[in-house]
A and B are shown apart, each in its own frame.
Chain A
Amino acid sequence: MAAAERHVPATPPAPVAIAVESVSKAFGAVQALVDVDVRVRAGEFLSLIGPSGCGKTTLLKIVAGLVPADRGRVSVGERIVWGPGPECSVVFQDFALLPWGTVQRNVEFGLLLRGVEAGERAERARRAIAKVGLAGFEAAYPAQLSGGMQQRVGLARALAVSPRVLLMDEPFASIDEQTRRVFQDDLLRLWSEERKTVVLVTHSMEEAIYLSDRVVVLSPRPGRVHQVLDVPLPRPREAGDVRGTAEFARLVDGLWKILRKLQ
């Protein structure tokens, strides 16, 4: 039911979780983003897609507070973003795990930095590890895990701090296809249980359509919002065979037609 609520336009409309207002960013002479406006609704799953050089990762980092915008304004919930804040967690493409820490220590890391005391830290990390399906691997080191499992650790670390917003930077890009599909379904299941707002940067059209409520297409050099696509596929998608439906194929093809013109 939670999933259905998201798609029936509620009255009053769901509060905006993230507002990106006329944001511009240049790196030296290179204009990465120009006048970007994106609004993400609370509980929404939104993807950013576009050719390389469209600034999708830069946009994600601006929302995360890791990169300052040159102009414009970003707010997450009530907070204007000046730097990293407690509502957001980031999941990185290359996992960014501490090689010297066990799974448990890695998942505790965000809690540790935020000053959560040891007992509670261990308990919350254990729960997050179980949630991503890694119970039993608490004592393993990252080097002993497969790429897919390492990213599950990255996701658990992000979830452990109980963020309202999950920012994911091509989280599945370094994971093999079979593992990726299982992981995507697990992510959808977690998302519908936890009711987080998710912003996902991806270069995979199938992934964007399969996971998202809306897909924001960015055009390159300079990065601008080119188009915003609604994905009216029914949820929960992870239970059925959504990838095999004609509607899914039609949406992916539509996205491809948009992206092809941007290359």
Chain B
Amino acid sequence: MVPALRAASVVGFLLLWEWAARVPISFNFPSPWATVTALLALVRSGALLEATAISLQSLLLGFGAAVALGVPAGLLMGVVRPVGRVGRVYLDLLIALPTAALVPLVILSFGINILSSAVIVFVFSAPFVTMNAYGGVRDVRPRLVEMARAFDASWWQLFSRIVLPSALPMILAGIRYALSRAFVGLIVAELLLSPFGLGRLIMTARSMFEHDRMFATVLWTLMFAGAALAAVARLEARLLRWRA
């Protein structure tokens, strides 16, 4: 049932796209076939993989830093309550504000290079990692802490055996959401200001009116992000088998 529906939705989407290209709904709107052809050509020429490799650097640097710093920061906020109360304000600001507005500021501080894309990826994703780690610690069942204390658990045992595993589902959900935010940040940065990687490929194709190449790159980016998210979701399901 579900696989059939899924297949039908893909076919429906392709038909709609094909129809949009035949009308066409706008000047030079590429058909699915033209897009796929362009995609294959881009892959074969190596341009797409090269751009992906560059984007991947910013992504891994920014998102990696978001996880590596964001999780401990959230845990610290959860464990040391005063730190949490102060830190929360900044987190709320970073989450509520249109982060894209920070792009010019980041470029100003770091220059136009891969590092500044990475910083923007970090700014887009880190608050969600931290917020969820913080929330995960705050949601620990007090009864489990009491149980471990009854066995005379040390501070470190409480943290590693109760707090961390309790918070893990929320931490992982935060990481998964932050990854999707990291992709948004990456493309925003590469489109708006620092012309590297996939964003640059999209912009170049657009300025040359090579709309099939532009679409192909966008499609590739979506597939890339989808695959990365699916990988994280699988890791999550594996680590949280006990919830099934």
| A contact residues vs B (CB 8 Å cutoff) | 64-66, 83-86, 88-90, 92, 94, 96, 98-102, 109-110, 112-114, 141, 143, 161
Chain B neighbourhood of A83, CB < 8 A:
152
Chain A neighbourhood of B148, CB < 8 A:
109, 113
Size of B's binding interface in residues, CB under 8 A: 19
CB distance from B168 to the nearest CB of A (A): 8
CB distance from B73 to the nearest CB of A (A): 23
* Stretch from B52-60, B107-115, B119-127, B139-147 at the A interface: B139-147
**B242 & A113 in contact (Cβ 8 Å cutoff):** no
Instruction: Determine which of A65, A92, A112 lies in contact with B161 in the assembled complex, contact meaning CB atoms within 8 Å.
Output: A112
Contact A98-B149, Cβ < 8 Å, known A112-B161, A141-B242: no
**B152 & A114 in contact (Cβ 8 Å cutoff):** yes
**A92 & B151 in contact (Cβ 8 Å cutoff):** no
Question: Which 6 A-B pairs rank lowest in CB-CB distance, beginning with the nearest?
Answer: A96-B147, A84-B152, A90-B150, A113-B151, A110-B151, A100-B242
**A96 & B151 in contact (Cβ 8 Å cutoff):** no
Besides the known contacts A96-B143, A113-B157, 10 further A-B residue pairs in the complex with CB atoms under 8 A apart? A66-B150, A84-B149, A84-B150, A84-B152, A85-B152, A98-B162, A99-B242, A100-B242, A114-B151, A161-B151
How far, in angstroms, from A86 to B147 measured CA to CA in the complex? 13
| B contact residues vs A (CB 8 Å cutoff) | 141, 143-144, 146-153, 157, 161-162, 165, 168, 240, 242-243
Task: Across the interface, name the chain A residue whose C-beta is closest to B144.
Answer: A96
**A113 & B143 in contact (Cβ 8 Å cutoff):** no
Chain A neighbourhood of B240, CB < 8 A:
100
Chain A neighbourhood of B161, CB < 8 A:
109, 112-113
**A98 & B144 in contact (Cβ 8 Å cutoff):** yes
CB distance from B182 to the nearest CB of A (A): 27
Chain B neighbourhood of A112, CB < 8 A:
161
**B242 & A66 in contact (Cβ 8 Å cutoff):** no
